[in-house]
Structure 1
Amino acid sequence: MSEATSAPVDTSRHPLLWPLLATLLIIGWSSGFVGIRYANQEASVMLLLFWRTLLSGLILLPFALFMGPGISMRAVRDQALFGIMAVFLYLGGFALAIEQKVPTGLVALIADLLPLAIAALSQPVLGERLTARQWQGTAIAVAGVLIVSFDSLSLGTAPIWAYGLTVGSMLVFAAASVLYRRHERSRMPVYQSLCIHTLVGSVLFGLCASAQGSLAPPMTRDFAIGMVWLVLIATFLAYAVYYTSLRLFPVAKVSSAIYLSPPVTMIWAWLLFSEPLTLGMIAGLLVTLVGVWMTSRG
């Protein structure tokens, strides 16, 4: 294969590296709400995801082709599988569940239990055993997420399969994260792998969106703002930092930062859309912070 193999980074000599990456990851992961909020009023979710992934892939394409090592067909095949799992099935599964009227609060809660699934998979697949302290931190973080999400939880009237779809989408991304960590051969630069992931996702989302109607984007200010936000922050920042962190740190440690996504999303909503920020949400944020700190330091 022709992927680049970079020398490993001694993270013990860079004590501020993980706090920096974790902060960027939390900002990027939680910011997807903002772009969706702006753009979803103008287009269907599938059309929105099509343009998000297409624009992301096309922006990265010149860098992937001309600034990195040569990309073999085997590498494209391997990375395309991650694109199907981590982009199309993960994002598309939750989008379809919401369209089927699964309550958004319940979808968000299931999505944000992703680190718990990754922690469970990391030991049998990667041999990365969590300590008792890390499991305690995980339990505390889950409790914090439940506190934050409590007010928005409801069961709704969606078909049974739609609820299973949310769980399945979360588990698919957990499996993709663990396999990405294990897949030592895939050492191409992150911008190359992310380019393949998003372009593969755009083809599949485009097929879904075309079945619903036109692929033409709405020519509105809110859709444009949403796209810029989703591409630059929710895709480039979130996915690039996530994949980079997976190469440097244990997968359960990296994923634990995602527990802070729900409370930080509430802060985004409060700052940008004047949505209420209750004492319960603040308490949940503090509890989650304690849990993530214990998990990261374990």
Structure 2
Amino acid sequence: MTDQSIVRPEPRRHPLLWPVLAALLVISWSSGFVGIRYASEGASVILVLFWRTLLSGLILLPFALTIGPRMHLRSVLGQMLFGVMSVFLYLGGFALAIEQRVPTGLVALISDLLPLAIACLSQPLLGERLTLRQWLGTTIAVVGVLLVSLESLSFGQAPLWAYGLTAGSMLIFALASVLYRRRRDEHMPVHQSLCIQTLTGSALFSFCAFMQGNMIPPMTIDFAIGMTWLVLIATFTAYSVYYTSLRLFPVAQVSAAIYLSPPVTMLWAWALFSEPLTATMFVGLAVTMVGVWMTSRA
């Protein structure tokens, strides 16, 4: 028996599957800004993250326990590790950096360089080698992100470790994404894994909120709108589409779509909060779209 006789070909996927998933990913990923903008009006960022992860986990819990295969301890512990990395350290690191007065524009810029870090990690850890065209597309997309972020970029007066924390948080999520792709044969359904990850994050964020002296959410309409937005769109939709895409497509291709998050975020800010749009932002959007198309093209 030859090796070819036991190799199963990759299943054919509909040509529109990736464009649809990419559009959902960009829209939901960039919408986190909207939820944070509403919810943080009367609450600290840590308190927002605590209630975001707690509500997400509790909503998913009955479905995780009753729908899908039985969860084993080894798989649960693995998902808890991903929860520490991709929920607590990633989101919490950016929150702490902002509280230490790292400018929000700089935090957003560093977080939006996530696909570049994933592209660099995917070759040594996954063996997914990017072509010259994909590296060129990545470079063009980074230039587009810089153009979009240019007018809101400043360096501030935060302590040096806070800037390192921002970059470290992004790198941790990049590593978690690559490891998640590497363990794709051991995946549990998304609703189960996301439930475990968010509940793990909420347990850790609860300790941080307790140390700050406040775990009670403000009873305001803005906080309720923000929580609804963060749970349904920025958590359920964004993470579910992201993890599903990682199972089906190369990790560098999936992460490249995130380059479009900054220009789409500026459209959210313009539509909902009347923030101005500039010619530089539109140039950055066009450049980023070219880079993403080059990187993601089959």
TM bucket (normalised to shorter chain) is over 0.9
Q: Deviations over 1:51-79 (max 9, x none)?
A: 00000000000100001110011111000
Contact kept in structure 2, 1:115 and 1:258, CA below 8 Å: yes
Equivalent runs, 1:1-298 vs 2, <5 Å: 10=11, 12-297=12-297
Aligned-partner residue type, residue 21 of structure 2? L
Aligned-partner residue type, residue 260 of structure 1? L
Q: Give 1:13 shift.
A: 3.3
Counterparts of 1:249 and 1:136, CA distance in 2? 20
CA RMSD in angstroms comes to: 1.2
Counterparts of 2:54 and 2:185, CA distance in 1? 26
State the secondary structure of the residue aligned to 2:186: coil
Q: Deviations over 1:148-194 (max 9, x none)?
A: 00001111000000000000000000000000000134321000000
Aligned-partner residue type, residue 107 of structure 1? V
Counterparts of 2:13 and 2:168, CA distance in 1? 38
Aligned-partner residue type, residue 19 of structure 1? P
Contact kept in structure 2, 1:86 and 1:173, CA below 8 Å: yes
TM-score (norm 2): 0.96
State the match for 1:4 in structure 2. none
Aligned-partner residue type, residue 243 of structure 2? Y
Aligned-partner residue type, residue 210 of structure 1? F
Unaligned runs of 5+ in 1: 1-6
Q: Give 1:41 shift.
A: 1.1
Counterparts of 1:88 and 1:13, CA distance in 2? 34
Deviates more, 1:82-91 or 1:184-193: 184-193
- The 3 A distance-change label for structure 1 pair 285 and 118 is same
Deviates more, 1:22-31 or 1:213-222: 213-222
Counterparts of 1:8 and 1:147, CA distance in 2? 42
Contact kept in structure 2, 1:9 and 1:248, CA below 8 Å: no
Q: Deviations over 1:65-121 (max 9, x none)?
A: 001110011111000000000000000000000000000000000000000000000
Contact kept in structure 2, 1:144 and 1:287, CA below 8 Å: yes
Counterparts of 2:37 and 2:187, CA distance in 1? 35
Q: Give 1:219 shift.
A: 0.6
Q: Give 1:8 shift.
A: 9.6
State the secondary structure of the residue aligned to 2:296: helix
TM-score (norm 1): 0.96
Q: Give 1:42 shift.
A: 1.1
Aligned-partner residue type, residue 229 of structure 1? W
Q: Give 1:39 shift.
A: 0.8
